[in-house]
Chains A and B, each alone.
Chain A
């Protein structure tokens, strides 16, 4: 199947960024229109991708990728390494498909949300489009090197987008974000090198070992060189642990910092709070998903044996994130900070889903990521609406907004209830599936004890508590705002804002009412994934 649709999806925003070079800094509306057009084209292509996607393709995880593109990119010989080969290798399956759609949709909405930007518009949109390219590139890369390139490339534009267009403590937040995530990705780098040197095929003619960064080879134990450092039979240990387990932990940590898990989450509230609204949206809706996707596609798929070994602890980290993030969210008086902590709490479900090693759990985790993409984007936009009008987002400064801003309050209610997991809205499905997976596995082989599911349900209560409390404090009761000067600015949503919220609300409702759309396309890939990961379950 030769088609360049994936490349088009990835490089379209970058093309837009190059187009912006020909614009003058003052032609702001032209710049915005170009950015919008290119991100819309990307969205159209990804919708086309869904259209042409075959949900039952392939019968093994390694052969289930569609629209594959593969070219040799770098090939150089380096002395005793044999040759150094990097491919430009793309492909999509049921897991990455929806993340691609989500990222192109959020990119478009982000452009709309930045429509009122006034300072340094050109640089902003160039960085923004570069960011979009690298995020989608991560979801579609099937070569570890290519993945890593995109993964790192996310950091630079993000660093500047937070640091230049953010709030008062933006420089601190951007540096913190950069260093935290860089530590994570350097851990991934080391594992990538180790995997590269452990995976390879013998060239029959020249008898040279051809190493490659091909992720599919890394997932297949047949490609591991006998006696290499990360082969299944490797005897190397690090501090008493087998090297494969250490490599898995390094990958897990690298991706989990991005997700984030609890002890390494502190970059997230700072970055979210200081970033401008559209950037917070991208951060929450897409950047966190890079971590989750990396766990699915790389950490778990390459080291299923180690993953199974640590499944229990991973689920514990998930529970910890749910409870700790929830309690923290309840304690915040800044609306944006509260939402940032609620993101941490929701991402905990992804870890439990992964740790359960069941189809339900894994599908639930994946669904949770997509649903959270919609919900968190809407949540940060909600904060943005308030902040645009008053430059303030303290919860105690507002009261009874429902009477004055009915449209806005309607949106807030739907999104808050979706986030706290009301049945019929998007947040419910993922959490339900994850909990089903967790309870299921505890019934079958006791890999996860029952209490994990029970505590996670408690976490849902905490979520409900802080959302309802916020609604009560900010939207119900008598209308009142702290500063008198805010009064004339308190107007309901304008058309542009409705335009942004409508697709998100539609997505939230449709995903909640009819999750089949996503689950059906994803299911086959998740089954193959669990079959691949759980393959070893029988042996152990």
Chain B
């Protein structure tokens, strides 16, 4: 293809990435508005409008675009719908000192990077997108500008730098093996397998799979809570979507080895995350290990191709649960202090509604009825059992057993927040919570219950082109 033909093609394809373009222009304007000293409230409103715009103007098409570097399919459409909405949820968090227009600009940058991660069909584009999300994330981590925040950001940067170097090495090996940077040209070769392994470790870092999870607790503890809610959802879900794409293109090539490796890692992640969470007293740290365990649950869903709807359901529920949990945590925080369990002792008498909401998110994260979290786990285990039944693979059975047992163990730590809320003596700590957050929390909690009673409503969210 000649250069000018390519240029014409690129020009024609701009409409396909309309939501990304809206976000890019929007975030640049946001930066300018910030320099013009617009009050933060209006900056937030503007950001919300941009996010809604990108949600509404997302294009549902399928195929390859931009000289086959961008792919559009059901999954990437789902992400262009879901991720801006999650970011919108993050905008609703309580006002704290670290929030400034730069903060929201960086938030948008991570979102843009995440959307390009999901849309990329070329290893280099993917690498660039991951770097975009990573750099913005490093900065967001340190936004408290205190010692803890800087330490967290530094750790994140170091681990991130190493993993991205390893990933780049993997990409170069893959290029060497196949002479191509496109996903769909993968073939089986020893060099390719090695390259894939290194390449995946970069993605595992993003999705916090053990043993690439070490940055998670420190970062979650040190970063502002709204940034944590964002990290645990948007870039992570995008990372899983990329894994979904990658496994789609390597489908069967490296089996059964790859499948066994993934399941082993998933089991390890679940066990590690659950066990480590058991002994935490800092709520954010506890939730961070819980989020690691959840990564282990989502990982196998990327592997098996026939489970798009289960994957979709799980990530949406996961996003809801995490936003609700972290919003809840942030509302109880004092400026610049982390929330420890003893800080919520005995608040249940004063705020029974908040106590009930904490029960709902805790129960949802454990995966018990009557919350959407239970449906997500039910679908997940159904998928796993089906694979076990059809392949008689012990790895799947172990995954089911470990998953079920870890649910029981995770009850112990997730339930500690409502436990301290209701069962402990009041320590006379004063916490003020604005009434409108009650409305937001109640709505989110209600949605979680609604998603249990009628999970079909999610079929209408980002429907598939040809189901």
Chain A positions near chain B (C-beta within 8 angstroms): 74-81, 84, 120, 123, 148-149, 152-153, 155-156, 160, 163-164, 170-171, 174-175, 178-179, 182-183, 186-187, 189-190, 193-194, 196-198, 228-229, 236, 238
Contact = CB atoms under 8 A, between A and B. Distances in A.
A193 B381 contact: yes
B423 interface: yes
B31 interface: no
A189 B459 contact: no
Given A163-B422, A186-B405, A75 B382 contact: no
Interface in B429-467: 453-456, 459, 467
Given A78-B307, A164-B422, A197-B385, 4 more contacts: A148-B369, A182-B368, A186-B408, A198-B389
Contacts of A196: 382
B404 A190 contact: yes
B306 interface: yes
Contacts of A148: 369
Interface stretch (B3-11, B139-147, B193-201, B411-419): B411-419
A79 B369 contact: no
Given A74-B455, A164-B423, A197-B389, A190 B400 contact: yes
Nearest to B306: A80
Which of A75, A160, A228 has the most CB atoms of chain B within a 10 A radius of its CB?
A: A160
B397 A193 contact: no
B119 to A, nearest CB: 22
B423 A229 contact: no
Interface of B: 306-310, 349, 352, 359, 363, 368-370, 374, 378-379, 381-383, 385-386, 388-389, 392, 397, 400-401, 404-405, 407-408, 411-412, 415, 419, 422-423, 453-456, 459, 467
Contact of B307 (A79, A183, A236, A238): A79
Given A74-B456, A182-B411, A194-B385, A79 B404 contact: no
Contacts of B408: 179, 182-183, 186
A155 B411 CA distance: 12
Contacts of B453: 74
A183 B408 CA distance: 6
Contacts of A76: 309, 455-456, 459
Q: Is the interface of B mostly helix, strand, loop or mixed?
A: helix
A78 B381 contact: no
Given A186-B407, A193-B381, A178 B392 contact: no
B219 to A, nearest CB: 30
A160 B415 CA distance: 11
A79 B419 contact: no
B220 to A, nearest CB: 25
Per CB-CB distance, the 4 closest pairs between chain A and chain B, nearest first, are A229-B389, A80-B306, A76-B456, A186-B404
Contact of B359 (A153, A156, A186): A156
Contact of B381 (A175, A187, A189, A236): A189
Contacts of A81: 382-383, 386
A175 B419 contact: yes
A75 B369 contact: no
B389 A78 contact: no
B423 A171 contact: yes
Contacts of A175: 412, 415, 419
A79 B310 contact: yes
Contacts of A183: 405, 408
B456 A178 contact: no
Contacts of A170: 423
Contact of B385 (A155, A164, A229): A229
B467 A77 contact: yes
A440 to B, nearest CB: 39
24 contacts: A74-B453, A74-B455, A76-B309, A76-B459, A77-B459, A79-B307, A80-B306, A81-B383, A120-B349, A152-B368, A152-B374, A153-B369, A163-B419, A179-B412, A182-B407, A183-B408, A186-B407, A189-B404, A193-B378, A193-B381, A193-B382, A196-B382, A229-B389, A236-B389
A186 B410 CA distance: 12
Contacts of A74: 453-456
Contacts of B401: 190
A77 B453 CA distance: 16
A528 to B, nearest CB: 31
Contacts of B381: 189-190, 193
Contacts of B397: 238
A76 B454 CA distance: 9
A178 B382 contact: no
A77 B463 CA distance: 12
Nearest to A184: B408
B454 to A, nearest CB: 7
A152 B422 contact: no
A2 B405 CA distance: 42
B309 A153 contact: no
B272 to A, nearest CB: 20
B449 to A, nearest CB: 12
Contacts of B400: 190
Contacts of A186: 404-405, 407-408
Contacts of A197: 382, 385-386, 389
Contacts of B379: 78, 84
Contact of A236 (B368, B392, B467): B392
A528 B378 CA distance: 33
Given A197-B386, A229-B389, A78 B309 contact: yes
Nearest to A183: B408
Contacts of B308: 79
A186 B385 CA distance: 14
A374 to B, nearest CB: 31
A147 to B, nearest CB: 11
Nearest to A174: B423
Contacts of A189: 378, 381, 404
Nearest to A119: B349
Contacts of B385: 190, 193-194, 197, 229
